[in-house]
Amino acid sequence: MNIGFIGTGNMGTILIESFINSNAVKQEQLFITNRTLEKAYSIQQRYPNVHVIQTNEEIAKHATIIFICTKPLHMPAVLKQLRPHLTDDHCIVSITSPVSVQQLESLVPCHVIRVIPSITNRALAGSSLITVSERCADAYRTTVEQLFRSISRPIYIDEPITRIASDLTSCGPAFFSYLIQKFIDAAVQQTSITKEQATMLATEMMIGLGALLEQQLYTLPTLQEKVCVKGGITGAGIDVLEKEVGDLFVHIFQKTHEKFDEEKEKVRQQIDYIRD
């Protein structure tokens, strides 16, 4: 089965690389295009058997499963462009959260699935969030799930928790990368440790923490219990966190949901404009 990609930006490229490197697909099964074709050709330079296609419409001629990896506001126009070339044999896979599967179904006459990936999928790790449309055939659901199982842990979600689930899995790496960088910067600022040393130690700590959780040796609460001796140094640091973190993540989620609602409204307007 041939697979198409419309959009080879950051996440489109990550998915292409991950599917190839995990052996989920062969290079020659992939047909890719991008508004700036140079980006697609740069992928072909690393994977010579990947096909670079000139237009979105041609992707529909070559591929059965088509990943749409564009920005949310560009998606309605792309789907309108594709619609005359789509048949019952096609399956559209959207990777953007502000466009619901119901909206996707209203724009195309074929099978529809939404999958929200994470940058962690590049390491063949982390999770991917799947929402399947009502008219999607089981065969496509199984195929797409198997694709993502090769690079992640697929988790099925319902529409109402799309934003928070994406915050935790897809935005989470950026949030915690920022916090770890601040952790490192503070160590360098307060002591004589070099940035290189602090970065190495913090990175190895994160890798080890992930291994403990992956192997289910500890849960997050028991990790704190094991490291934090009452009245000890770690406990003193935890006291500061309890006082200063406060509602930090509540405010983060409030802001991401606010932005999500704005994007959903803009997408709705784009869809209404296309229908008119």
In the annotated binding site for NADPH, the residues are 56
Q: What is d(CA 44, CA 66) in angstroms, rounded to the nearest whole number?
A: 18
Nearest to 101, CA basis, from 60, 62, 130: 130
The residue count of the chain comes to 276
Residue 230: give the domain boundaries.
169-252
CA end-to-end span of the chain? 35
Is-contact 108 82, C-beta < 8 A? yes
Tens digit of each residue's pLDDT (9 = 90 or more) over 210-266: 999 999 999 999 998 888 877 789 989 999 999 999 999 999 999 999 999 999 999
Tens digit of each residue's pLDDT (9 = 90 or more) over 88-114: 999 999 999 999 999 999 999 999 999
Q: What is d(CA 273, CA 134) in angstroms, rounded to the nearest whole number?
A: 25
**Is 186 a domain residue?**
yes
Say yes or no: 18 and 92 in one domain: yes
CA distances from 100 to 15, 107, 127, 163, 269 (A): 20, 11, 19, 11, 14
Say yes or no: 141 and 99 in one domain: yes
**Is 273 a domain residue?**
no
In the annotated binding site for NADP(+), the residues are 6-11
Say yes or no: 143 and 21 in one domain: yes
Contact partners, residue 179, CB within 8 Å, separation at least 6: none
**Is 35 a domain residue?**
yes
Say yes or no: 70 and 135 in one domain: yes
**Is 268 a domain residue?**
no
The model carries a pTM of: 0.93
Domain finish residue from 104, 136, 157: 157
Query: Range with the lowest mean pLDDT among 94-98, 193-197, 271-275?
Result: 271-275
In the annotated binding site, the residues are 6-11, 56
Say yes or no: 43 and 153 in one domain: yes
**Is 149 a domain residue?**
yes
